Structure 1
Amino acid sequence: MKDNERQRGRATMQLEEREKLEQDIQVLCKRGDLAGAVERALEGYGQELMRLMASVLHDYERSRDAFSLFSENLLRGLPGFRWESSFRTWAYRLARNACYQVMHAPAGREQPVTMSKLPDAAERPRSETRPWQRTSVKERFRALRESLEPQERMLLLLRVDQRLSWEEVARVMSEGEEPLSDSALKRKAAALRQQFQRIKTHLRSLAQEEGLIADEDSPTPA
């Protein structure tokens, strides 16, 4: 009970810190201090955005290139940002676009992790811990996830790791510069939710093929 209360307290504190960060950035923008707003944004969101880019691009140097491009686009686009979403959501969209620009640049191509690069299966020790909760198995699950296409990894990162709402995910993953209408945003969110379920099903199938999930753990068909 106390652990749950502490976890809720940490989550609330994170939310409060994020709200304070959003407010700080908006105040600096209203003052016309765009350089200060960018500096505050990178101070608050820089690390998580860099982790996102590294997870999508699988290359440190290309991640740095994407982050530099993101920073330039952030400074260039900030005067026109209309605060119709949170700054964080908009920043994730810029980060996503920067990743795609780097991926499609002539200098290099995406090199996804192949199934042959998965760690070798380890012997299962006798333990009450369920097999896929052990560290070595967690690493293999992570490798399965990294074998997905960049856009699929991006969707998982936004929804699972960063815990964005479906509407926020839809804003980040939307194409074009114009904001989506409410109805279009809902349609986009619904489509992404369906894609998310397909990705989960695909990952589960891969995990079963790799012996990470036993057949008896599979859901029984209705």
Structure 2
Amino acid sequence: MKTDDLINLLAQDAPVRMRIGKALTIAVVAGILISGGLFFAMIGFRADIDTAMQTIRFLFKFVVTIALAVTACAVVFRIGRPGTSLRVSGWALLAAPLLLLAAAAVEMAVMPSDSWSARMIGHNARFCLTLIPLLSIGPLACFLLALRYSAPEKPGVAGAVAGLAASGIAATFYASNCTDDSPLFVLLWYPIAIALVTAVGYVLGKRILRW
């Protein structure tokens, strides 16, 4: 018997407590509410939010973070189902980084080169590396709990994708507080924070999602 056939057979024989689609839908809603509640209770919008919303660079941060959250959540919804192809949804994960790279290239083309370093370093790197992981805790926990109702073929990868989705949600909230709007800043610091959460998700997934 092939490995894929065995996985499908075991998944069919396992007692179903809740359908994975319903569990993950609840996880998405709960994760957003937890992350949002923590954000508004502890952090909140930046002081100049009204002015910032009139700038393309500020709004573009949300294009990137929401694209990451949506595409990663799409993979989470599929990765817990044995034998389901991840090819299309997996390639969709490239949307956010490609958008960000394009924006950074445009900024470098229109801004003087001696300003690139300052824009990339910014003023909020410490907060970025702290707050995105902090705001990811709730969504990540929700995703991992929901994925326990599934049978991911690669628990570590499933956990990593859960971390990616959780950090996308967290980064969306954090972007409304961060005063560094340069795509160069986002290109450097946001991926580091997101990678930390993704790595934690991988480690936890290997332990929690094994079956």
Name the TM-score, length of structure 2 as normaliser: 0.30
